Amino acid sequence: MPEPKNSSMMDTLKVVKDISIALTFSIYFSGFLFVTAKYSVFINDLSPFDIISSSLPTTLDLYLRNGVFVCCTLLISYVVAFYLYTPISNISKGRKKTKKKRIVKLRLSANGAVRSALEMIPPAIVPGIIIELSHYNIYVIHVMFILTFIYLFIWYFRVKAYIISEIEKENAVISEILDTNGVPETQPVSKFNNSLLSVLELKLIRRRISNGTNAYYLMIFLFFTSLFICVYGVSLQKGKLISLSEGVGAYKIANVYYDNSNNYQQFYVLDVSKDLLIGYYNNKASIVPISKISRLDINSVKLKNDIKKLGDIKTANINSDQHEIANTILKYYQLRIIDKDSSELLSVITDDFYQSNYKIHSLDSIAKRWNVNNEYNGHPLNEYIGVELSIPEMLYDGSYEVYVYEMWNKYDDTARYIMTKENGSWKIDHLESNKYSISFE
């Protein structure tokens, strides 16, 4: 009798529900391990076994975002491991066909635990050595842990295949026993039934043992996967801190103001929610309640700690092009902020820059807009103090790059200029504001 459609649909919905629950749990749990391990770097020298004691508050969104990242990494590793393992397993199966069938007892043993631990030594030591030699390079860390997860998946595929092959061997032997032990005419049927029952009981016992063995190795796999997720998080955070100290990479920086004062404290943002800001400051994680913050400015910035300060243009040891470039930038600030005069704007910016930023305005309307707005990137013009320039550095295409530290009354900003020669003069061709954290040498 055909199964009702409603029953089939309910079974499908149940499978989808189970998969959704398992996926949600996997994302959250992996995100929890990954984030807690990352933030343990800021609290104290915790080992991966102690990360649960970390008390740094985080948001659910942070767990889920990092969990999705970890699960995607595991998925990529799984796919690669599957396609690497399949041809190897096919070769192994071909070799095993020539071997005599025998019953191999599958049991949990101390030897199995020791052997499993020894097989986990390569992924525990080799990636760590390579990461250390690379000085915690972020890309090396990602590659090494993807390779580690690939190793774990291949290891589990191999164990799983071994268990299945042993079950198949036992079934084949039991089938032979049943085929060769028919009911003889001189043997009572009851005796044969007892013999058959013994075989079936043996099969059931071995099936239970194999299931227990499978669960045993699955637990080993999950344990080491969880452990390496934790180590992944710690290594990645250490790599980011090293990049931070060397002025490499991009980060979110928060300027935190208290009690409506003009002074602010700067943090590298770890997490922010409606209640708390978690930032990195003074070589440790700091937690700031949002209720105590009068103003919060968060910008994505690239770190530049190796910039050479220009200093006094008159005494600086620079060539004529660099001298002209520095004066052009200073003139731009003079026209834009102090004089609010657009009549000479085209003498300091290229035609492309003008078309990109002012194409719908005449020079007179630009000056009027400047006077009406009386602001520059959110700063009142009367709060302008001055600028510090970096030494102009030539880029691969012959243009020059200049970093500028803008000083304002309430808070400072940064800018990056690309200078190009047009009609015999160096002019501003590109401008990025508030995207860099600058520290002069």
| Domain CATH code at residue 410 | 3.10.450
Taken as a whole, the chain contains a residue count of 441
Beta-bridge partners for 278: 271, 287
234 and 324 assigned to the same domain? no
pTM (two decimals) = 0.61
Contact yes or no for 222/155 (Cβ under 8 A)? no
Tell me, yes or no, whether 294 and 185 share the same domain: no
Domain boundary at 215, 246, 277, which?
A: 246
Closest by CA position to 331, among listed 320, 321, 342: 342
52 lies in the same domain as 160: yes
- For residue 98, give both structure tokens: 């020539």
* pLDDT score for 3: 54
Query: 144-150 long-range CB contacts below 8 Å, 24 or more apart?
Result: 145/73, 145/228, 145/231, 145/232, 145/235, 146/73, 146/76, 146/77, 146/80, 147/123, 148/123, 148/228, 149/73, 149/74, 149/77, 149/78, 149/81, 149/225, 149/228, 150/77, 150/80, 150/81, 150/84
Q: Among the three residues 246, 270, 290, which one is the final residue of a domain in this structure?
A: 246
Rounded Cα distance between 327 and 348, Å, is: 10
> Same domain, yes or no, for 33 and 175?
yes
Amino acid at 120: M
Neighbouring C-beta atoms of residue 1, cutoff 10 Å: 3
Asked if residue 387 lies in contact with residue 239, where contact means CB atoms within 8 angstroms, the answer is no
Q: Report the run of H or E that residue 224 belongs to, with start and end.
A: helix 189-246
Predicted local distance difference test score (pLDDT) of residue 170: 62
160 and 109 in one domain? yes
Taking the chain (441 residues) in runs of 10, the rounded mean pLDDT of each run is: 62 79 90 86 53 60 90 94 74 49 44 66 82 86 93 87 68 59 48 50 54 73 91 88 71 78 74 79 75 82 75 86 94 92 89 83 82 86 92 87 90 89 93 78 67
Please give the structure tokens belonging to residue 231.
């180590």
The reply to whether 140 and 38 lie within a common domain is yes
CATH of the domain at 291: 2.30.30.100
pLDDT at 50: 44
List Cβ neighbours of 427 (8 Å cut-off, separation of 6 or more): 328, 347, 348, 349, 350, 353, 419, 420, 421
**pLDDT score at 106:** 42
pLDDT, residue 261, reads 63
Q: How many CB atoms lie within 10 A of CB 217?
A: 20
For residues 208 and 236, membership in a common domain is answered with yes
For residues 182 and 267, membership in a common domain is answered with: no
Q: What was the pLDDT predicted at 168?
A: 65
Phi then psi for residue 368, to 5 deg, are -65, -45
Neighbours of 242 (CB within 10 A): 15
Q: How many folded domains does the chain comprise?
A: 3
Here the tokens at position 281 are 């400051």
User: Which residues are registered as beta bridge partners of 430?
Assistant: 418
The tokens 């000056």 sit on which residue? 367
Total Cβ atoms within 10 A of residue 163? 17
> What backbone phi and psi angles, to 5 degrees, belong to 389?
-105, 150
Distance CA 343, CA 366 (A): 9
**Residue-level pLDDT at 295:** 81
Q: Are residues 145 and 276 in the same domain?
A: no
Task: Report how far residue 106's alpha carbon sits from residue 165's, in angstroms, rounded to the nearest whole number.
Answer: 11
The count of other CB atoms within 10 Å of the CB of residue 32 is 21
| Domain around 191 | 5-246
Which residue, chain included where needed, has tokens 């061709």?
A: 429
Give yes or no: residues 144 and 210 share one domain: yes
Q: Which of 387, 407, 385 is nearest to 309 (CA)?
A: 387
Sequence-separated (6 or more) residues with CB below 8 Å from residue 432: 415, 416
Q: Are residues 316 and 235 in the same domain?
A: no
My answer on whether 29 and 88 are in the same domain is yes
Among candidate residues 279, 303, 327, the one where a domain is terminated:
303
